[in-house]
Amino acid sequence: MSSSSLRKRKRGPSDANEPGLLSLELSSVSVTQVGPALASFPSLTPPKDTAFNSFVREEDEGKEFVKCLSTIAGETDAVEFSGSTNEGSDGIGSRYFLALRRPGSSKLILHPTPLYLMSRQVKALRNFKPMEPGTSERLHARNMLGEAFGTKKAKAAIRAHERNKVDVNVMEAVADVLQDRIEEGTENLPTQEKMEEAVNAARLIPAYNADAERPEDIYPLHNIIPEQEWAALDGLLHKLKKEPDDRARIRLLPNARSDWLRQHLMLAYSVPKPKSKLVKMLIYASVMFTFHGVVRISVPDRTVISERLAPAPEAVVDGLLSRFTETPRGSIKAQMTTENETSLLTHLFSLCLKADGHATDTALIAADLKMPSTRVNNLFRSLGCTIGKLSQQDLKRLGFPDSAANEKRATLKTPLTFPKPRRRRA
């Protein structure tokens, strides 16, 4: 290769119009107008839909926005975020620009922007007052350091001081003070009711209505299946109606080997006019069964998942991936954590309860998922179900045959009660 071919080609005036080349241009927006901003969240990042407001000092109004001392603030249900620009910057040092490009345009428009270092405040801890250590705490800490790292002489002096300071009369005199300090230290502790509410709110189950008077109202349908994904199932529902028999309908769904799904789909189409709501719940349950089997060990590429879940709509595939998988920081590969799997299974089981009249055969579900029955039963209990045999009254109400009386089922009833944590023996 000749040396001339290695030289860089000089850019001519006609190259600016070549496709793929971009030109830079400063923004024409007034510098005094509030513009875009850069915010750095060092620890906790707010959701994308969190709204933020900008505030500028009165004496800075009319000045260049990036040189003003300004503040932005926003909040979620649990956390408040705020940040201010550096008062001493005044445009000296590093400056930041945002490059914006319109689709189809070859221009990058640079907008000057300030930088905000954000801080956060947890709303629940807003009124929490930390207690400053007193003299006794400092003395105790100093003695502990002396016992750990001091010389023999220093340790002997500490022990002598500890022996000499015991005075019953003094202890009686400060009893009231100690009681007041105990009350101050415990005034911010949560009550038993608040602790139970916090535990229930952190459960890996669908959003529920604790005051529901009917079992079907405890877990609303769209808390299990988002409305957008529910609407996307209409096309697959029409395809099922066109199939000639149950075998063809079952083959159309992703999980054709599930005994639970096969039984319920045949039962749904045993009447002249199947209920569309029930069939759509069975379709979504079939997709969730298959999704669990595909991603429980390792999450493959989205193309592979979409092929395995076919003919599920793309909106359903994206919804399951966004809600039941997560991408670790610094990685581009999604994964399913233990919490994600538990949440997926409880959403699936709550959907099975709706299809079963809130009395589900857990052994059949465990066989389909190839999971131990004990784990499946515990997950149903976490939804507020009781595991046991049905009474004759429940069998007649649900339309089950008498032979089902020997089967243990997970039953959801009102009022909703969650299992109490086990207490260890002393």
pLDDT digits (tens, 9 = 90+) for 41-75: 877 888 888 888 888 877 777 778 888 888 889 99
Q: What is the model's pLDDT at position 203?
A: 86
> What is the total count of domains within the chain?
2
Q: Is residue 8 one of the residues assigned to a domain?
A: no
Q: What is the model's pLDDT at position 20?
A: 62
Q: Tell me, yes or no, whether 255 and 372 share the same domain.
A: yes
pLDDT digits (tens, 9 = 90+) for 187-203: 666 666 666 666 666 78
Q: Tell me, yes or no, whether 245 and 105 share the same domain.
A: no
At residue 288, does pLDDT exceed 90?
yes
Residue where a domain terminates, one of 76, 109, 124: 124
Q: Tell me, yes or no, whether 342 and 220 share the same domain.
A: yes
pLDDT digits (tens, 9 = 90+) for 248-270: 888 888 876 789 999 899 989 98
Q: What is the model's pLDDT at position 172?
A: 67
Mean pLDDT in residue range 24-33: 76
Q: What is the model's pLDDT at position 377?
A: 94
Q: What is the model's pLDDT at position 420?
A: 77
Q: Is residue 207 one of the residues assigned to a domain?
A: no
pLDDT digits (tens, 9 = 90+) for 216-251: 999 999 999 999 999 999 999 999 888 888 888 888
Residue where a domain terminates, one of 101, 124, 147: 124
Q: Is residue 257 one of the residues assigned to a domain?
A: yes
Q: What are the residues whose beta carbons fall under 8 Å from the beta carbon of 280, sequence distance 6 or more?
A: 230, 233, 234, 237
Q: Tell me, yes or no, whether 109 and 222 share the same domain.
A: no
Q: Is residue 158 one of the residues assigned to a domain?
A: no
Q: Tell me, yes or no, whether 238 and 109 share the same domain.
A: no
Q: What is the model's pLDDT at position 44?
A: 80
Q: What is the model's pLDDT at position 371?
A: 92
At residue 321, does pLDDT exceed 90?
yes
Q: What is the model's pLDDT at position 144?
A: 86
Q: Tell me, yes or no, whether 233 and 379 share the same domain.
A: yes
With pLDDT > 90 as the criterion, what percentage of the chain qualifies? 28
Q: Is residue 255 one of the residues assigned to a domain?
A: yes
Range of the domain at 372: 215-411
pLDDT digits (tens, 9 = 90+) for 335-358: 899 999 999 999 999 999 999 888
Q: Is residue 204 one of the residues assigned to a domain?
A: no
At residue 95, does pLDDT exceed 50?
yes
Residue where a domain terminates, one of 64, 89, 124: 124
> Rounded to whole angstroms, how far apart are CA atoms 338 and 394?
35
Q: Is residue 186 one of the residues assigned to a domain?
A: no
Q: Is residue 38 one of the residues assigned to a domain?
A: yes
Report the chain's mean pLDDT, rounded to a whole number.
82
Q: Tell me, yes or no, whether 119 and 252 share the same domain.
A: no
Mean pLDDT in residue range 88-92: 51
Q: Tell me, yes or no, whether 393 and 262 share the same domain.
A: yes
